[in-house]
Structure 1
């Protein structure tokens, strides 16, 4: 399930191997989609082999071929991590090879049979045991006077022994300077209110106590940030890629104007809010990696979205699309930024695609498709525009201007990919509808 620390376990394994001098090559892939895996392997091919990234699929294939075991005196010792795989089908044709000097680690919430098989071993990661909880809570709260073991265990029990919830609880306790007992009192009160308000199933097997832990941390963040930025910032982040949001999207003019409900808040207030949210373990903020500066757990994202009704979520989706488009450069010299913006658009589309067609197709959709083509992924660009043609036709009508624009994009990128006959057919269909 979410929140048990799969990524952290993989990261510890990686760190031990790297620091121990047991690896020559490490590739960490945030594998939320097939395209993300292809892009990461293409980047590895460029770094290791000098392969051109204009054709990412071909570059990725070259990298996988390089990983194949070979009869050389000192074969490279490699480790590939595919983190947060959502759909095992995304890895078809992209699994690194079996090798006596290489290993692949996958983290996922899926139990799909495709993830098991020859040479693969599945390791189930559950919530903390009581002993693990005791060790974690004792270490995390060591800065305070040692609390009775019974209080630590009571706190762990109230949080369902979920590591992510414990990290948020301990961050709150340390920040507020209160005892475990006092925190449990706050937790119980909030849980009662949540149970009264939301007598429905919570996502990913969350207990009401875990959901209350999120709510308490959010409320504390709101009290300790200026201009009421913390809550809308989390709402905006809840619509984006949990594995990395560009800082510029959250600090840009569009986002800051929305945070202030029409009055633009200062950039330093947003940066201050990011640090408070990081301190309370609601996000991870790494400003040294600006294109993937903010990471947020899917459970926290879901908890934030669930505080909004459908109308509010739709409005938030369009604001989020505006914020992404506002920082998307017309030219894309920085391929890492372009990849990050595309992955964040993909995440937004997964949770709120219908809102991006109200009242018309948002310009972000066309910008994303064009970005794929400009990155050399012309087949993917054509496929994206084909999807846009279908969706705009279904939602807005075949004669709508956005549908015609999508057809033009489809014709252009199919032409770029060499499909001249199909390009002519698309243009003919456009002409016949006029």
Structure 2
């Protein structure tokens, strides 16, 4: 009998039934079942009382342990006497549900099994609450519902004394309603995963170092099914955690080869982790637009599991991939009907409905997330050729989604993470594109874009490491004189210079110039560009006079080859004017920049980055010529325009703000300059990080302003702190380190000479 508890039954049972009664067999509890947070969440969701929702639907990706949680809850309800009737149904098909209902009707009502449909209807009718009848408590578990349509007309009735528990990988809207609530079942937490591994290994008389257990749990994405099968595999194969992790890291090994064969699966499991999602993928692929979900998952499998920007998977390259390789389309889908952006989004939603991905369009920079093992299983199911094609299309989709000007640091970081994931999965096709298109042969542009983005984001060491790898790999695949190998060497030399090693950059460009001249000829435009870069870094190293004469000579050649309005020609004129200023002719530099600015405004417009850079340079050299106030006013305008055109986090915007603060200080506004640079430092720390050379420069200027404001001791203290960080990051012989060491000596001397200056209060 019931008094408002969890389960209920109606009408008088046939005499042969003894109560409580169970129909169906519960799966046995896993050997090392974790009493995890999800179990408590479920227990709270089905608490007694009038506010309880009579049907709980446990949803989650395959392998998270939904069935084990449902069985655990059913056992507890049975053991605590809260159930008069417990029905466990393996609900993978509609026929299985009807058959189980009919069996329950036969056992409880004495129904005739010859007509299963009629018996099932009788059982559901019996569950309906009826005034004036004896109320029995019931719990019906519908495990592993594969399709919400299978339960159409078969949902147990809602009532105050009956409860239904459903487990499914689906999360369709059809599963919810007034009397049904979705309960999301996720992965183990890191602590739960480590606790499971510890217990499971100990069950077999084994143990592992805590750091290796944590690492193995992370490698398997904290997925309960994968963890249990990994333990069984390493026990049977007599491996320790480190050895098993080494095999996992080998991308030539399939996931199937790293998990038990069907005879060795633990806990009465029916399928391996690698096969756990096969049915879900098949079902997603049959959801309209048919034939796209599997292909979309193949693209997703190549990218960052933690978040793929929306534009990558709905852009023209992704649509071209879906359109070219689509199979199994519905009859009404003709070959002439190309895949649209809306089709791509619907394919993502199909995968989301089957819990194969998380699709969050309201988080556009990380719109798609996916478990790493689902990715691996999807890649394993592809042939080598299919996988290589998917890699190239994914790389092209990333490149197409990458904005020319990175105004959004979060988007740029997400794109870099996706490019890095793609490289980890399989970078080989990115160096031999001719295998798939005879017109394409070389390094995929996404590799160069990644290096550029890393450098502009302030991760210069990472940019150089990445480009060195690209250079080495391109040389091995394409040869040392291939244009893209030379391109990689050029980019690497550039970021070497941006790191502060001007002489090293000049040496690298000199070596590259010799190689390009031999491979391409002296008059090739690439050779001319390298000569310009070599001259620039020689100028930065202090060889200004030589740079001026070289720039003038190269300018004539480049103008003849490319024309006077080519961006490279305009940029060269900018560099030549700057060299004039560095050589001591500030007035001549300003005049040359004024002339250049007029042409850029006509050719490029006022919002082009080259035009804005020329405006900033013109303000600088006018200031050097003596017009300090004019420099400040002009730079205020430049900063305002760069904020509007490039965004607040663009490196050029940050550099313009730095220049404005510097010229405020030169004009005598120490307080205003300090305020500018303090605000800039906050942004540079956030965007570029604490170890970027530009962040160091802002800190150095702030320390010097502190000294100029009358606090030499405070300036010395701030400079000493900066020097310690520079020594760690740049080393003792770096030019920036040497300059900072000299500044420290200066401010310490000033502090001794002027003991009346106020002391630092930091």
User: Could you say which TM-score interval applies, normalised by the shorter chain?
Assistant: 0.5 to 0.7
Alignment of 1:334-345 (within 5 A): 334-345=408-419
The answer to whether residue 67 in structure 2 is matched with residue 134 in structure 1 is no
Partner of 2:256: 202
Partner of 2:313: 250
Q: Which has the higher contact order (CA 8 A, sep 6+)?
A: 1
Alignment of 1:36-55 (within 5 A): none
8 Å CA contact 1:171–1:279 kept in 2: the answer is: no
Distance 1:312 1:147, change over 3 A: farther
Partner SS, residue 281 of structure 1: coil
The answer to whether residue 219 in structure 2 is matched with residue 219 in structure 1 is no
8 Å CA contact 1:203–1:299 kept in 2: the answer is: no
Match for 2:450 among 343, 368, 371?
A: 368
Partner SS, residue 500 of structure 2: coil
Match for 2:473 among 378, 387, 391?
A: 391
Structure 1: gaps of 5 or more residues: 14-125, 139-145, 156-168, 184-199
Tell me the CA shift for residue 206 of structure 1: 6.7
8 Å CA contact 1:175–1:280 kept in 2: the answer is: no
The structure whose Rg is larger is 2
1:45-91 deviations in whole A, cap 9, x for unaligned?
Answer: xxxxxxxxxxxxxxxxxxxxxxxxxxxxxxxxxxxxxxxxxxxxxxx
Q: CA RMSD in A?
A: 3.6
Alignment of 1:68-217 (within 5 A): 128=65, 132=69, 134-135=71-72, 148-149=87-88, 151=90, 170=144, 172-174=146-148, 176-177=150-151, 202=256, 205=259, 209-210=271-272, 211-217=274-280
Provide the C-alpha distance between the structure 2 equivalents of 1:242 and 1:206, rounded to a whole number of angstroms.
25
* Count of residue correspondences: 277
Partner of 1:380: 462
Partner of 2:590: none
Partner of 1:296: 370
8 Å CA contact 1:171–1:281 kept in 2: the answer is: no
Provide the C-alpha distance between the structure 2 equivalents of 1:323 and 1:410, rounded to a whole number of angstroms.
25
Tell me the CA shift for residue 277 of structure 1: 1.1
8 Å CA contact 1:284–1:295 kept in 2: the answer is: yes
Provide the C-alpha distance between the structure 1 equivalents of 2:492 and 2:307, rounded to a whole number of angstroms.
29
Provide the C-alpha distance between the structure 2 equivalents of 1:357 and 1:276, rounded to a whole number of angstroms.
33
8 Å CA contact 2:496–2:502 kept in 1: the answer is: yes
Match for 1:413 among 495, 498, 514?
A: 495
Distance 1:287 1:330, change over 3 A: same
Tell me the CA shift for residue 412 of structure 1: 0.7
Farther off after superposition, 377-386 or 319-328: 377-386
Provide the C-alpha distance between the structure 2 equivalents of 1:136 and 1:424, rounded to a whole number of angstroms.
70
Partner SS, residue 261 of structure 1: helix
8 Å CA contact 2:493–2:509 kept in 1: the answer is: yes
Structure 2: gaps of 5 or more residues: 1-31, 42-62, 76-84, 97-142, 155-164, 169-253, 263-270, 326-336, 434-441, 519-762
Tell me the CA shift for residue 339 of structure 1: 0.5
Partner of 1:330: 404
Partner of 2:80: none
Q: Which runs of 4+ in 1 moved over 3 A?
A: 126-133, 135-138, 146-152, 173-180, 210-213
8 Å CA contact 2:307–2:366 kept in 1: the answer is: yes
Partner of 1:305: 379
Partner of 1:317: 391
Provide the C-alpha distance between the structure 2 equivalents of 1:255 and 1:417, rounded to a whole number of angstroms.
36
Tell me the CA shift for residue 304 of structure 1: 1.1
The answer to whether residue 308 in structure 2 is matched with residue 233 in structure 1 is no
Provide the C-alpha distance between the structure 2 equivalents of 1:271 and 1:212, rounded to a whole number of angstroms.
26
Tell me the CA shift for residue 150 of structure 1: 7.1
TM-score by length of 2: 0.33
Distance 1:412 1:369, change over 3 A: same
TM-score by length of 1: 0.57
Tell me the CA shift for residue 233 of structure 1: 0.3
Partner SS, residue 226 of structure 1: coil
1:131-174 deviations in whole A, cap 9, x for unaligned?
Answer: 53514799xxxxxxx9833748xx9xxxxxxxxxxxxx846344
Tell me the CA shift for residue 313 of structure 1: 0.9
Provide the C-alpha distance between the structure 1 equivalents of 2:492 and 2:73, rounded to a whole number of angstroms.
54
Partner SS, residue 239 of structure 1: coil
Alignment of 1:353-364 (within 5 A): 353-359=427-433, 360-364=442-446
Match for 1:270 among 334, 344, 350?
A: 344
Distance 1:201 1:317, change over 3 A: closer
